[in-house]
């Protein structure tokens, strides 16, 4: 099997919860994404589906490096994009994009779910 174009391994994003004004200390963390892994090969399309607040947008933001992962790796064509310089990252972003879908305009009640997804 050919090498995947996009390889995500054990992606984690936790946002710290802090307390205090002058001396902030971490009292917990919000687990937005916890252990997401997938491979995307040439010719494939990836759709991330889930309930509101489950981390779909956070995963997408990490894939284009708008958010830094707490742990895990994101490799695009064999290169870890979480460690790229700003110039190299700009070139990678031309090939990766996220498309957010508005469910109210995309769901046509006259179509079947299969037709809508297709």
3-state secondary structure of 26: strand
Superfamily of domain 6-117: P-loop containing nucleotide triphosphate hydrolases (3.40.50.300)
Asked if pLDDT for residue 48 goes beyond 70, the answer is yes
Give mean pLDDT, residues 59-73: 91
How many Cβ atoms sit within 10 Å of the Cβ of residue 13?
Answer: 22
* pLDDT given for residue 4 in this prediction: 92
């Amino acid at each position: 099997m050919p090498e995947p174009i996009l390889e995500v391994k054990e992606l984690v994003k936790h946002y710290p919860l802090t307390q205090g004004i002058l001396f902030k200390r971490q009292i917990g963390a919000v687990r937005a994404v916890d252990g997401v892994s997938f491979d995307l090969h040439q010719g494939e399309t990836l759709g991330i589906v889930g309930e509101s607040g489950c981390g779909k947008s956070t995963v997408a933001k990490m894939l284009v490096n708008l958010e830094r992962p707490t742990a895990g790796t994101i490799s695009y064509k064999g290169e870890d994009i979480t460690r790229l310089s700003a110039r190299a990252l700009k070139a990678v972003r031309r090939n990766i994009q996220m498309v957010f879908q508005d469910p109210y305009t995309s769901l046509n009640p006259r179509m079947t779910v299969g037709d809508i997804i297709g």
